[in-house]
Structures are given as C-alpha cells and as structure tokens.
Structure 1
Amino acid sequence: MFLVVLIVLWCALFALWWNVKPRQPSPPVYPGALPIIGHAHHMLGGLSQLWQVESDVYRFCMENGGVTEFRLGPRSIYVLADLDDCLTVANTCFDKPYIYDFGKKLYDRGLVTAPAVIWKSHRKILNPAFNQQILNTFVQEYNVQARRLVTELASEAGKDQFDVVPYLKNIVLRSVYKTMIGVNPKDENQERIITDYGRALGIFYASMVERLQSVWLHLPVFYNMSDLKKRQEAVIKTLKNLSQTIIRIRKSELKQNLYSDSTKEATSGYKSMLDLLLDGGENQEFTDEEIREHLDTLIAASFDTTRVTLTFALILIGSYPDVQTRIWKELQEVLGGPEKDVTRHDLPKLVYLEAVIKETLRLYTPAPKIGRCSQSAVQLKDYTFPAGTTFILSLYAMNRNPVWGADVNEFNPERWLNPDTLPDNPNAFAAFSIGKRNCIGKHSAMKFIKTTLAYILRRYRVTGNIKNVQCQSDLVLKPIIGHHIGLQLRT
C-alpha cells in the first residue's frame, strides 16, 4: 500500500513539475496534423495537389513568424521562411536530411547529396572548373544548340499554341552533354546515349517523387520490400551504365586523340566538365566512381532546372507584350539580326533580358526548397533547435518575402534595373540556393538561358498566358496546365 501511495505521489509531483517547468518556445504547427501520422495525409494525391499543400505551408510559415513545424509520422520537419534564419541554417548546417538519401545510390558523393566533409573538399576541387574563363568557352556551343532550336521550332510558327517543353528538353540535354561531357551530338551512337539517358532520368525522377509521397516508404524496412525499390534499382543501373559508357568513350578519345574537335578544343582552351573531372582522376583527386557520381549530379542539377526556367520565361514574356517589345529592342541594339552569334562580350550588355530572367526565377523558383540537418544545436531568432533537427528552407518563400515590396507577387522586371527598388537584405533573392553550399552552376545556367532566349526572341514573337498556368511539385517546380505558347515568325 505504501508503495502504491509513493508511486501516485511521484506521478503527481512529476505532472506538477511538467506543467510549471520553464520551456523553450515552440514554433507553430501547420494546421491539420493527425495523431500518429501527423501531416502525412497531405502528401497523398496528385503532384499538383501536393504543390498546393506545399505552397500553403510556405504561406502559413511567412504569416506566422517564419518558422513552422510540419510532421511526417514521428518526425518533425521545420520549415523556414525568415531570411536571416534561413541564412543561419544554410551557413551552419551543411549536411542534408534523410530524404536526400533517396538519391544516394546514384549520386552518393556528388555535390548535392554528399556529406558535408566530402562536399567541402570536392567543392574546393571543382570550383575552378566553373570560373568565368572556362564558362566563356561554352558560349559558342550554346549558340550552336540555340540555332538548332529555332530551326526545330519553325514547324510550330503560325499555328495554334503548343507544348514547348519537349523542344526545350532536347536542347538542354544536348547542351548539357556537350559542355559537361564533351560528346559530339552529331555522332549517332552518342545521340542515342543522350536520348536514352534523358528517358531514364525522367523515370528516375518519377520514382524519387513516388517515394517522397509514400511516407511509409521513407522507412527502409518497407522500401526494401517494395516494387519501387526493384524499379528504382533497374533505372539506376541503366543510368550508371550510360554514364560509364560515355566516360569510357571520352577517355578513349582523349587518349587516342581521335575526337574530331580535340585539336581545336586544345587550342581554344575549351574543356568539358568531364575532361576536368578526368584530370582530377589522373591527379588522384577523384576515383572513377566519384567522377561518375559528379557527372550524374551535374547533369541532373542543370537539366530540369534550366528547362523549367526557360519554360516559365517564355510563358511570362508571351504574357506581357510590353516586356517582349523591350527585350526585342535591346536585342536589336546589342546583337542586330537573328543570324548574329551571341558572344561572351554581348551577354553582359543584355541587361533587361537578365532582369526578366531574374524576375522569372524569383517568382517561379525551379528548386523551391532545400533541406538541411543540424549536427549541433542551432540558435535562430526565436527558437533553439538541438542536433539532428531537419530543416526545409523555402527558397520560394524567400523570393516572395514582403521585403520585395507591395508588388511582391507581380511580374516586374524593372525592379532589377534600379538598386534602390531591391531589398536591402541580399539574401532575399535565393533562386540559386543560399549560403556557402549554393548552386555551383548558376553562372553557366544564366549564360545558357540568356543565349537561348536571345535566339528565340529575335526570330519569333511569343504569346502565352501565365494566368492559365497550374504547377506541380516534382523534384522541381514545373507547369503542367496552361503552359502552351504560340510563335509568330518575325519579318
């Protein structure tokens, strides 16, 4: 009896202590959490519905102090929208959360998925490969592919609106392969490899999204028993084989000097990213498997993001005739007729076109979120989080922060032409991620997008309607309805 009384007394004292003890403030929880599963039910449904939920989480976060808790079963994920808190996490938490492990079998030590200690050393080695001198050598290839694109688009000119995505997919993939790998797209065997790789990459993306949505498959015990694992392993094997084939071809070409353009490239200073990675392998900086992982990562990181940025840019330009007219006038002043090549000296002069691209990236950030995991306690403005906390940094919310002004949700390229109209906080523009572990290829992406749009808009007048666009949350933000455009040949 005494023991029972003692236990009851202890429980009562513990309950009293629990209710009166000082506690750390907790961020607001996104509404709709259910017992046990949390918000996992919001992950179900189509990808367009998933984007509606995701964007609503960002809105709730912005309206409630910039930090929100989102629960996936027993896991808590903290969504950040506050500019300063996002920068704090970005520059103190370099490791990625468990969801990035879903791509590790393919990308492993690539820059996106690598643990912080590997990322730091590999990023330092790779940085010189993305300097301006090397990127400038890619511009001629961008011209070649952009010319090919406007020729292919001729069949759509003067007709009803059409889906431009397949055309952009092809040019981006060819350009990525040429500049990243150095292959010759005119070679039928290499062209087939490029096509097969693009198809397999699309299947792999779909499998990644399927696992992200199926919260129970986040647990290895269920994933290992699933049909998805078998399908994913098959497509990963295909992608690895294709990359390894390309690497072997390129190694052989460089060794035997059989590549038709090798002498020209040597004299012009052109080297593909693969060539630079292979140089690192010869210097024992990278193993063969690390070269393959970096190659696959660079292709994946540049392929979808560049394609969707071009898509959104064309829709927006087609939706605002005054903007399109101003771009065209700038192109005439800087470049003249549609046949002139775009040089590296021309690109900085296309100031208004760059403003349009930046405004496109601000409103329709291709990668709307990034994940980080803390290795030690993190102090934010209003909250302290322990080691092992998972954060989602909403780049989408940062780019739509109220610091952008009353017209934050409007397409206004002019804001980029006057520094006084831009936010004082330089972290407000987070289209290419934020902090030290940001996008290594942002400058090459801008050069490619500028060059491609310069060719399209000198040759064609574009029509579109951004108000009709509906988006989905894939691995990137992409339009799925209302994204068709029309083309009229300029005379």
Structure 2
Amino acid sequence: MVLGVLIVACCVLFAVWRLVKPRSPSPTVDPEKLGADSSLSCITSAIWSWLKPRSVKSPTMYPGCLPLIGHGYQLIGDDKHLWKREKEFYDFCLQNNDLIEVRVGTHSMFINRWKIHRKLLNPAFNLNVLQSFVGEFNRQAKLLVSSLASEAGKGPFDIRPYLITNELKSAYRTAFGTKVENSETLTTYSHATEKILTLILERMQNIWLHLSFIYKMTKSSRESDKLAKIMKDITESVINNRKSQLKAAKQFDKVGDSATEDFVPLLDRMLDLADKQNAFTDDDIREHLDTIVGAAYDTTATAVTFILVVIGSHPDVQEKMYQELQKVLDDEERDINKHDLPKLVYMEAVIKETLRLYSPAPRFARTSNTDVKLKNYTLPANSTYIISVYGLHRHAMWGPDKDQFIPERWLDPARLPKNPNFFAAFSLGRRNCIGRLYGVMAIKTTLSYILRHFRVFSDIEKLETGCDVLLKPVAGHFISLESRV
C-alpha cells in the first residue's frame, strides 16, 4: 500500500511539473494552455477515479485500489508473487456472489482484418492438413527419445529443455517447412522469442513503463526492438527463399489443395493464398508465422512437462496409458499414424485433466461490445475483461473433487460441468486457439514415444508453479526415467 501511495504521488508530481515547466513556443498551439489542460485533466482524472460513486450494478472493487493506477502497483514482484496475487483475486471473486460467470467469452469485439485472416487460415488447420504433420511429429519424438536415453537411470533431471527443443523443431518445421536439427538460426530465433516475452512481462510489472514515452527511453525498449528485428530478418529470409523455390518449381497449384495428405507447411499455404487471392502481405505472413511458432512450442512443451510430472506421481494412470497405447499399436514397434491418435481416448482424458489443473495459458482477455448481465452485476460494454482460466477450472461446477486429478471424469459426461465453457484451456469463443487440434496431436505423439520407451517417476507434492506470460513449473518438476527395455 505504501508503495502504491508513492507511485500515485509521483504521478501527481509529474502532472504538476507538466503544468509549470517552460515550453518552447509553437506557431499553432498555446503551450501553456496545452500543458495546463493536460496536467489538470490528469489530476482531475486521478481525483475523480478515487471519489466517484460506484453504481450498485458494478462488481465489488477488489481491495487496495488507488487513484489513477488502480491495482497496477500490485503487479510488482516475481512470478510466484503475481501468481499468488491472482489466486487471491479469484478467491475474492468467489466470495462476492460468484463474479466469475462464463458469459464474457461470447461477447467479443472483432477486428475486421482478424476475422478475414482467421477465415483464410482455418483450412490450414483442418484435420486433413494436420494429419499430414504426424510424420514430422514422429520424427521429432524419436529424436527426443534418443536424447532422453542418456538420462535414464540417472535420477531426477529437468526435462523441459529437451521438450522445448523438440517442440520448437516441430513447430518450425510444420510452419516454415525448413528442416532444422542443431541449427544456430533456430537457437537464435527461440532465444529472441523468449527474451521478448520476458521484456513484455517486465514492462507489465513496472507500471511506470506502461507510458510509451517513458518506455521508449529505456534499455529494455531498445533491446526489444533489436530482438524483434532479429526475428523479422530470420522469418523474412525464410519467406523469400521459399517464394523463390516455389516459383521455380511452379508448385503453387499443388499447394492449393488443402485436402492432400502430402506434407505442406503453413508458409506454403499462405504464399499460395497471397499469390492467388492477394490475401496476405509479406508482413502479414511473417506476423502470423511468428505468432503461431511462438505460441505453439512453449505452451506444448510446458503442457507435456506438467503431464509427465502428474503421471509420474500416479503410476496407475501411467500404466493405463501404456496399456491403451500397446493395444492400439497391437504391441508393434512402429510409427504412430493418423488412425492411431483418435483411439488414444484415455490418454486424451489425461491430457485434458492435466490442462484443467495446470493450463499453460491461465488467463485470456475479451472486450465486450454489449453490456454483460451477470447474476448480481452488469459489466459495461466496451470494457476489457481478464478471464481466469485457473478460476474456471476450479469452479464449484466441477464438483467437490475439483482440485483432484481424476482423468476418468472426462470419460463420463455426467461428471463434467453442463456449461462447456468451464473448460477453457484453449480459450473460448471464435477467438479460441486455432492450433488446439495441432497441440493435442503433437502431445499425444510425444507422450506415446516416451511411454513406449520409459517409465516416468516424479513427486507432484513438490511441484511449485509461477506465472509470467504462461503458467510454468519453477520447482519440484524434475522427473526420473527408467528404461522399459
């Protein structure tokens, strides 16, 4: 609270300084009047936000709100602090007439450009296209198992770096079409992606950096721009090379058939749309590819980490998964194929239950274009809401065993909430995760190879999580492997 008051005082002092500081003359604007108006507006806004009466229809204010900055000062702290604060906020909401009602997700405002692009991209993520990626999933999973063999029988270790490398190669290959093994380019790309996310978090945690004119003067801003340029240069190089290759081979006509089972990366499909329909600019393609790769590999690697920790602590669940896998494969040592994945029903239940308890994306935002009427309150239109996935997944609608790991609940519809929106591991509504099916297929393939070669051991009681952009394990997540051979 003291820190928050100090921050407010700094904001007011800044406003006063803006009011009294000398300004250079302008031929079109009276600088003194402009400075006075903006500074008085700032001070007036701060005072009004503190004193104005709240509507009885408005939700209860979370304790600790300060003028102008609201609860922003509570963002200051490390990952564990932020995650603890978010869970406290969720508990507060439940104690105040259940504010977490799942309706906001159906009242999203849509940007025309986004809607057009999403419609164009959807065919690139249909089942037939994704099934063509199974061969690549197999290839990377076998490389992963080969790498993990050196850890078998040696005690606990951190598997997440192995998984990040595995999933990044898969995502990069299926998106760009470029084969990568120990590529320096891939390492540079992944480092830039992770570092940019870290800088975004640092800016979010320091509310004085929310002001763009201040942030642009910082070292973090300059570093972020430098990293963004690195990513841009790498992606543009791949795009230009691929365009040249396709044009030389005259393969655009083949790419257009989204039903083909031949492996066709997302980049090829987007270049085809750009060529035939003028649907995307090169910048559009670059931004979409960077987003898809960045969103895919880290979330998938994190999800698999949580799954392995969970099943390593539940040997009975792990054994059921292994027996199901052996039954589907007829005890044969062969690659997973597109027909095998849908048959792994129990494995999918384990995946969903783990994502319910440890969703890598623990929150998402929606902006309403209408008033949203809840049971006791009305959320005003044109407001942005943060939906707590963590809260939804532990809502009372899941029953008295909501905090327990029970994969069998997914095999019995009567044990699931009647409202399907209470499971939001892949977000909700039209702006849900376009790569949902991609992620599940990649996770199933990876788990299949790990379980066929190793038994997994861990202790879920030691697991500690922290939350920056994603919910991640920060302690107690090491696992041990024992070879099945």
Check conservation: 2:177, 2:264, Cα contact below 8 A.
yes
| Structure 2 match to 1:92 | 107
Distance 1:268 1:418 in 2: 34
| Structure 2 match to 1:303 | 297
Query: Where does structure 1 lack aligned partners over 5 or more consecutive residues?
Result: 1-17, 68-80, 96-115
Q: What is the deviation of 1:146?
A: 0.4
1:393 aligns with 2:387: yes
SS at match of 1:199: helix
Distance 1:43 1:333 in 2: 49
Q: What is the deviation of 1:360?
A: 0.7
Mapping of residues 119-134 of structure 1, within 5 Å: 119-134=114-129
Distance 2:348 2:95 in 1: 31
Q: Which amino acid aligns with 1:443?
A: L
1:252 aligns with 2:284: no
Residue of 410, 413, 425 corresponding to 1:419: 413
Q: Which amino acid aligns with 1:223?
A: Y
Distance 1:239 1:178, change over 3 A: same
Distance 1:338 1:243 in 2: 40
Q: Deviations over 1:247-287 (max 9, x none)?
A: 1222223233499xx99x99853211111111111120001
SS at match of 1:371: strand
| Structure 2 match to 1:241 | 233
Q: What is the deviation of 1:130?
A: 0.8
Q: Which amino acid aligns with 2:84?
A: Q
Check conservation: 1:338, 1:455, Cα contact below 8 A.
no
Residue of 213, 219, 238 corresponding to 1:227: 219
CA RMSD of aligned residues (A): 2.3
156-165 or 47-56, which deviates more: 47-56
Distance 1:169 1:45 in 2: 26
Mapping of residues 347-366 of structure 1, within 5 Å: 347-366=341-360
Q: What is the deviation of 1:23?
A: 4.0
Check conservation: 1:62, 1:397, Cα contact below 8 A.
no
| Structure 1 match to 2:101 | 82
Residue of 196, 207, 214 corresponding to 1:215: 207
Check conservation: 2:171, 2:296, Cα contact below 8 A.
yes
Distance 1:323 1:172 in 2: 24
Q: Deviations over 1:83-108 (max 9, x none)?
A: 2x3xxx2222235xxxxxxxxxxxxx
1:150 aligns with 2:148: no
* TM-score in terms of structure 2 length: 0.84
Mapping of residues 324-363 of structure 1, within 5 Å: 324-337=318-331, 339-363=333-357
Mapping of residues 65-214 of structure 1, within 5 Å: 65-67=97-99, 81-83=100-102, 85=103, 89-94=104-109, 116-186=111-181, 191-214=183-206
Distance 2:91 2:329 in 1: 42
Q: What is the deviation of 1:342?
A: 0.7
| Structure 1 match to 2:373 | 379
| Structure 1 match to 2:75 | 43
Residue of 280, 283, 289 corresponding to 1:289: 283
How many residues are paired up? 430
Q: What is the deviation of 1:128?
A: 0.7
Check conservation: 2:58, 2:379, Cα contact below 8 A.
no
Check conservation: 2:129, 2:261, Cα contact below 8 A.
no
Check conservation: 1:370, 1:433, Cα contact below 8 A.
yes
Q: What is the deviation of 1:375?
A: 4.1
| Structure 2 match to 1:27 | 59
SS at match of 1:415: helix
Distance 1:484 1:56 in 2: 27
Percent identity over the alignment is: 45
154-163 or 30-39, which deviates more: 30-39
Query: Where does structure 2 lack aligned partners over 5 or more consecutive residues?
Result: 1-50
SS at match of 1:479: strand
Check conservation: 1:65, 1:82, Cα contact below 8 A.
no
Distance 1:66 1:217, change over 3 A: farther
SS at match of 2:474: strand
Q: Which amino acid aligns with 2:101?
A: D
SS at match of 2:119: helix
Q: Which amino acid aligns with 1:428?
A: F
| Structure 2 match to 1:272 | 265
Runs of 4+ in 1 over 6 A off after TM superposition: none
Residue of 82, 87, 97 corresponding to 1:55: 87
